Structure 1
Amino acid sequence: MERGAIPLDELAGGFDLQATVESGQSYLWRRGDGQMYETMSAHGGDHWYETVVPELDPVGNDRAVVRVRQHDGVLEWESSTDAVPILTHLLRLDDDLDAVLGATTDDPLLADAYDTYRGMRLVRDPPFACLISFICSAQMRVSRIHGMQVSLAEEYGDRVSFDGETYHAFPTPDQLAARTEGELRDLSLGYRAPYVQRTAEMVADGEAHPSEAQELAYEDAREYLTQFVGVGDKVADCVLLFSLGFLEAVPLDTWIRTAIADHYPDCDRGNYTETSRAIREQFGGEYAGYAQTYVFYFLRAGGE
């Protein structure tokens, strides 16, 4: 086992691990005490989080188990390998958060959200797992979405041993494609079960892969992702933002539509494409997705 620590004062703009991994961006981490998503407003804690990380092309790692917590001014980690490049990639520790937030629009709602959850960063989840997670997200609470991903990993993913414990990797496309709709329904996926099975089949057969969207311009990338079964514009935007690095993407979920109605009514253009363009411009363009994520979490946790 390898251990290490990343000083938080070396991260431009700071960092809040709990807000980052419990804000509804990622469903691939587990909290060591089993209380993931038990509170609506999670930030500032020192809990251990763990995940099994697949091979990541930008990092060049083998599959690894990573445990991490924020404690006494450092990001403390334990892993089966050097976790610094992995954590830097997954948690966007290389972002200059002050510069990013400073490049978005200066308005009262964003200022309140930034002040409340200072240090929250976007994530870079593995593309296939992110895609499946958000296919499962339709009309679901974040705790239920997380529970579905845990069940998929425990039921169909590889078991990985580390430090005397057994962890479960998220299933590969082949592993999920081999499941029946009935088996997936038994894991409480409901009507999402055939979407997950067919999307996994598309990736396993080489018909399409979510990472291929990275080579396209933003709106073309969103259109590319909608070919996967169960993926509309909003889910596609989530994958673009929380996995593929399109920081301008603004998923138009319930909370962002509420923000538009209450704070930015001129951005409502009556359809997804035009409303998306308008709210991206309102939020400052290049880093609009950062603004979206802060607003989403702030409003969901009871901010106004």
Structure 2
Amino acid sequence: SLFSSQPSPARFLRDAPSACPSLWRWLPCPPAELRLDLVLSSGQSFRWWESSPGAWTGVLGGRVWTLRQDGDRLWYTVYAAKLNAAETERILRDYFQLDVGLSALYHAWGAADPLFRKVANDFPGVRVLRQDPVECLFSFICTSNNHISRITAMIERLCQAFGRRLCCLDSRPFHAFPSLSALTGADAEARLRALGFGYRAKFVSGSARAIAEGLGPEGLCQLRSAPYAEARRVLCALPGVGAKVADCVCLLSLDKAEAVPVDTHVWQIARQRYGVALGGKSLTPRAYQEIGDFFRELWGPRAGWAQAVSTPLPGTLVPPTPSYTHPIISPFQVLFCADLRKGQKPAGSQHQA
């Protein structure tokens, strides 16, 4: 991982607003609207680390941030960058989609779904991030047959090899996510394979070229204003992008709140907990679509948000407690990890892809 297992005293002080109040700002945000420990550890984004207890450091918008919560306040500081208060608050509000009232949505989903009501109290403040489409797309191409600890390490290697260096904290360098042009070089696939990307190297470099020669990064962002079905169709035409990855990108970066990523875990939950009798022994494209339609009808236009809260694996429904030394079991790990249990192994025990 990026940080050592025990925070240094200097880092702990740096990550505390009381130690350096002039470097920190805050905006109002109650835990019912956002829980950093759930959202940033959940497998939506792979660029955040708990750098000291309750403090999350990561890269957002080409800058390095540390965030923490204290009561109804979301505290933040930005390193090696000059931003005014209005701009930093705008970035955070956009990233966490804080203009969406989560408490009201929880109430509506609970009224429509008794199973949701049983889960919601244990997982408050779970909301969907609004990420950069390029970063989101290439991150989720890497999630195929993978788990959070290894995906996080892969994305870190990708950024170190192809991204612009931003700053260094505690002797650790931070890099921006690579630009599209950085991933289109003739040797990109070979370099990615050397970094342990395996067969995903071809998909990353191939999708980068396809976008560069077609939509371009601006066109990818413009899919935010396209209908959900159109955005999904465009994404599924890219190398290494199937229905689930496309739906993750639609949900997490293209403003398609109705997108419901479906994997075998979600399929089993739909059948076992909701009695949805779809498909045979495998998750067919037709069953995938019908399961998504079922949840969209049940939960409404933000079904992708509701699913993030309501589908933890059987046996993992435990109220999460912020902890520095123990992994947090989060509902998003069901959506975006191929194997939850493997995802809980220490990163150092994993082999490269």
TM-score scaled by structure 2? 0.73
Of the structure 1 ranges 163-172 and 225-234, higher mean CA displacement relative to structure 2 is found in 163-172
1:175 to 182, 188, 211: 182
Q: Runs of 5+ in structure 2 lacking a partner?
A: 1-21, 319-353
2:196 to 169, 179, 188: 188
The size of the alignment, in residue pairs, is 280
Contact 1:256 1:295 in 2 (8 A): no
Contact 2:29 2:72 in 1 (8 A): yes
Shift in Å, 1:300: 7.4
**Alignment pair present for 1:117 and 2:115:** no
Instruction: Give the aligned residue type for 1:88.
Output: R
Of the structure 1 ranges 260-269 and 74-83, higher mean CA displacement relative to structure 2 is found in 260-269
Shift in Å, 1:130: 0.3
In 2, distance between residues paired with 1:156 and 1:207?
Answer: 21
Contact 1:32 1:48 in 2 (8 A): yes
Q: Which residue in the other structure is 1:48 paired with?
A: 55
Shift in Å, 1:66: 2.0
**Alignment pair present for 1:299 and 2:309:** no
Q: Flag the 1:185–1:267 CA change in 2: closer, same or farther, 3 A.
A: same
In 2, distance between residues paired with 1:68 and 1:259?
Answer: 34
Q: Which residue in the other structure is 1:23 paired with?
A: 42
Shift in Å, 1:162: 6.7
Shift in Å, 1:109: 2.7
2:293 to 274, 277, 282: 277
Q: Runs of 5+ in structure 1 lacking a partner?
A: 34-45, 55-62
Contact 1:114 1:294 in 2 (8 A): yes
In 2, distance between residues paired with 1:267 and 1:248?
Answer: 21
Q: Which residue in the other structure is 1:97 paired with?
A: 102
CA RMSD of aligned residues (A): 2.4
In 1, distance between residues paired with 2:259 and 2:149?
Answer: 24
Of the structure 1 ranges 273-282 and 222-231, higher mean CA displacement relative to structure 2 is found in 273-282
Q: Which residue in the other structure is 1:147 paired with?
A: 153
Instruction: Give the aligned residue type for 2:316.
Output: G
TM-score scaled by structure 1? 0.84
Shift in Å, 1:285: 2.0
Q: Flag the 1:2–1:162 CA change in 2: closer, same or farther, 3 A.
A: farther
Over alpha carbons, which structure has the higher Rg? 2
In 2, distance between residues paired with 1:212 and 1:253?
Answer: 27
1:85 to 84, 90, 102: 90
Contact 2:244 2:263 in 1 (8 A): yes
Q: Which residue in the other structure is 1:222 paired with?
A: 232
In 1, distance between residues paired with 2:34 and 2:253?
Answer: 19
Q: What secondary structure is seen at the aligned counterpart in 1 of 2:258? A: coil
The alignment-based identity, stated in percent, is: 32
Q: What secondary structure is seen at the aligned counterpart in 2 of 1:228? A: coil
Q: Flag the 1:47–1:187 CA change in 2: closer, same or farther, 3 A.
A: farther
Contact 1:3 1:78 in 2 (8 A): yes
